[in-house]
Amino acid sequence: MLFGRNAWPKAAWALHILCDIPTHSTRFFPTPYLWPFHTPFVNGQSWGNKTFMLANYSLIGLAYFFIFLFRKLNLRFLK
């Protein structure tokens, strides 16, 4: 049930929930991660915070850089 055809979408959904919990405040879209049970909401960091946004975009850029670097090195070894 956990493994098989739908394993990747389930893993992406779980990662999304794990990222949502600390990144939503209790005033703006709190994540009820234990629904339908009582959920102790976490007052997380807002995406609109400049420090958080800088870290977020920096990590995205770093990920793209490593993807680009990996593809370049991989193509050299194949030739």
Which is nearest to 47 in space by CA: 34, 38, 56, 36?
56
Can you give the residue ranges of every domain in the chain?
Answer: 1-46, 47-79
Q: Say whether the peptide bond before residue 22 is cis (omega within 30 degrees of 0).
A: no
List of residues 6+ apart from 25 with CB closer than 8 A:
43, 44, 45, 46
* Predicted model pTM: 0.57
Give 13-70 pLDDT, tens digit per residue. Answer: 888 888 888 888 888 888 887 788 888 888 888 888 899 899 999 999 999 998 898 8
